[in-house]
Structure 1
Amino acid sequence: MSEAAIEATGLHISRGRTRILRGLDFAVASGRITGLLGPSGSGKTTLMRGIVGVQRITRGSISVLGRQAGSAPLRHDVGYVTQGASVYSDLSVEANVKYFGAMHKASATDVAESIAAVGLESFAKQKAGNLSGGEFSRLSLACALVAHPKLLVLDEPTVGLDPVLRAELWERFVDMAAGGTTLLVSSHVMEEASHCSSLLLLRDGLLLAQLTPAELAERGRSNDLERAFLNMIKDAERGPDSGHPAKKSEVAS
């Protein structure tokens, strides 16, 4: 059994009187790609913010790499790529990656490798503001990769990308996981679930299930993962006798 990279216990997060996440229990295995899937408004971004330590937890706990989420020692071990690109448009690709790398004492080799990892070598001297939308997103990823994080949290990184770019990014994610990096990737595109080792399915702030893509197809009675997810939602709405309530999963070996 591998050690859990992320573990949530009785996790509740509210904003004002609005309950966003309600009693989540799960564990995410190290060195794997875990998909965080669910419709818009299900709480995916709030959960990711809690994991990286920028969202106040109302009740319960989240541990990341064996420490409390948001702990100072995790700053060099956790990378976070938000939906909105966090780069400087007036700086070149290389200058952006150097800037973020400097916070982690990254070398020139680290900078070059991060740019190459997202396929932007030929754009290294180009200003970020002149990049296409897909290139801009890949630059954000490079800025996160330069620190060689043990855990990389990606909030819908493929939104707005064409199918070819999406496929290329997922190939890179698979390579990173093979190298020992743990990835948590959110998406509302169910077809991307097939690239993941494990899935966390959120619905209205609740954990509907934690399972593999194959288990999703089986429990949702369809090889079309989107249809399978919809079937699971319908089962849950009909009551506990027709569905399978999510339980805290063991860490995958």
Structure 2
Amino acid sequence: MRKNAVVIAGLRVVRGGRPVIDGLDLSVPAGSVVGLLGPSGSGKTTLMRSVVGVQASVTGSVEVLGATAGTPALRRRVGYMTQDASVYTDLTVVQNLRYFAALAGVPSPARAVAAAVATVDLGGHERQRVGTLSGGERSRVSLAAALVGDPELLVLDEPTVGLDPVLRRDLWAVFRRLAAEGRTLLVSSHVMDEATQCDRLLLMRAGGLVADTTPDDLLAGTGAPDAERAFLTLIDRAARREEDVR
């Protein structure tokens, strides 16, 4: 039986005096690509920050790779790619990756940097300043920065936002390759067609979990022809249930 890389029970996050997430339970199977999907404002980033251990005002249990989220033991075992590029535009690709390798305490930084560059296919750009790269290339540098510590779990917050279809396809090919190596990926998106790239789907709305399913089961359970219409069907069902409760 496949183990879970992340187990969350009773997660509650309060911001501005109101709960953003209230009583959330979910798990992320190890060695898989799990898509965290939902519209903007649904709580995806808050959930991911809770998994990484950088979110304030959190109650409940968030266990990551058998340890409490955010503990020092997880520093190299979890890689985090934020929605906005977290790399330095005035430094070269290699300088950025050396810096993040040092933060992660990587014992062989030169080897780790070379491996990360190869994984994201940035060979030939190592000495180029990040500020001169294209948007897609910067996204690859951010992914490489998350990978340089050789993490078991990658938490990627909307890594394909703003990219054209070709670049999105190429990044998803990288994600699938990483999962094939045994890593676990939690990838958020509001682009519903990316759902078909995932092994499992967590669909969020208004800080709650609408569905925990697979791409095939999502379509079969809603009778919808594609992931976007399937998600809208689930949203409409949830709204009707809320109306019935009122």
TM-score by length of 2: 0.95
Q: Which residue of 1 aligns with 2:238?
A: 236
In structure 2, relative to structure 1, the CA distance for the partners of 1:220 and 1:57 (3 Å cut) is farther
CA separation in 1, counterparts of 2:99 and 2:14?
Answer: 34
Q: Do the aligned partners of 1:50 and 1:57 also contact (CA within 8 Å) in 2?
A: no
Alignment of 1:79-98 (within 5 A): 79-98=79-98
Does residue 67 (structure 1) correspond to residue 67 (structure 2)? The answer is yes
Which of 201, 215, 226 lines up with 2:203 in the alignment?
Answer: 201
5+ residue gaps in structure 1?
243-253
1:215 aligned partner: 217
Q: 1:101 deviation in Å? A: 1.2
Partners of 2:119 and 2:80 lie apart in 1 by 16
Give the aligned partner of residue 32 of structure 1. 32
What SS does structure 2 have at the residue aligned with 1:121? coil
Looking at structure 1, the residues matched to 56 and 221 of structure 2 have their Cα atoms a distance apart, in angstroms, of 34
Distance in 1 (CA, whole Å) between partners of 2:23 and 2:10 is 5
Deviation at 1:102, TM superposition (A): 2.1
Opposite residue 31 of structure 1, the aligned amino acid is: G
Which portions of structure 1, spanning 4 or more consecutive aligned residues, are displaced by more than 6 angstroms? none
Write the letter of the residue equivalent to 1:216.
L
Q: Is the 8 A contact 1:2 1:29 kept in 2?
A: yes
Aligned residues: 242
Structure 2: 5+ residue stretches without partners: none
Q: CA RMSD in A?
A: 1.5
Counterparts of 2:22 and 2:3, CA distance in 1: 25
1: CA distance, partners of 2:123 / 2:86: 19
Q: Which residue of 2 aligns with 1:114?
A: 116
Compute the displacement of 1:16 (Å). Answer: 2.8
Seq. identity, %: 54
Q: Is the 8 A contact 2:15 2:57 kept in 1?
A: no
Q: What are the superposed Cα offsets for residues 27-86 of structure 1, whole Å, 9 maximum, x if unpaired?
A: 111000000000000000000000000012443111000111111100110000001111
Give the whole-Å Cα distance in 2 for the aligned partners of 1:159 and 1:59: 30
TM-score by length of 1: 0.92
- The aligned counterpart of 1:167 is 169
Partner of residue 51, structure 1: 51
